Structure 1
Amino acid sequence: MIYVVLAVLAAATVAGLVYRARYGRLRVSGGELPPGLLPPGRADGVTLLHFTSATCAPCRQVRAVCADLAKDLALVRHVEVDADAHLDEVRALDIWRLPTLLIVDRAGRVAHRTVGVPDRADLRRTVTEVLAA
Structure 2
Amino acid sequence: MSDPTGLIIAVVVLAAATVFGLVRARRDGRLRSGRGDAGLRLSSGELGESLGERATLVQFSTSFCATCPGTRRLLSDVASGTPGVRHVEIDAEERLDLVRRAEVMRTPTVLVLDRGGRVVRRASGPPTRAEVVSALELATAS
The TM-score normalised by the length of structure 2 is: 0.86
SS at match of 2:45: coil
Q: 1:76 to 1:3 in 2, by over 3 A?
A: same
CA distance, structure 2, for counterparts of residue 75 and residue 35 of structure 1: 15
Which amino acid in structure 1 is aligned with residue 85 of structure 2?
V
CA distance, structure 2, for counterparts of residue 81 and residue 58 of structure 1: 15
CA distance, structure 1, for counterparts of residue 32 and residue 107 of structure 2: 16
SS at match of 1:49: strand
Unaligned runs of 5+ in 2: 1-5
Deviations 1:49-107 (A, max 9, x none): 11111221110011011011012111211001111111111111111111111111111
SS at match of 2:22: helix
Contact 1:34 1:92 in 2 (8 A): no
- Bigger radius of gyration: 2
SS at match of 2:63: coil
Q: 1:35 to 1:68 in 2, by over 3 A?
A: closer
Which residue does 2:116 correspond to in 1? 107
Which residue does 1:91 correspond to in 2? 100
CA RMSD of aligned residues (A): 1.6
Aligned positions of 1:3-82 closer than 5 A = 3-29=8-34, 30=37, 31-33=40-42, 36-82=45-91
**Which portions of structure 1, spanning 4 or more consecutive aligned residues, are displaced by more than 6 angstroms?**
none
Q: Structure 1 residue 125: deviation in Å?
A: 1.2
Which residue does 2:3 correspond to in 1? none
Q: 1:72 to 1:25 in 2, by over 3 A?
A: same
Deviations 1:27-49 (A, max 9, x none): 11331226722345355211001
Contact 2:112 2:122 in 1 (8 A): yes
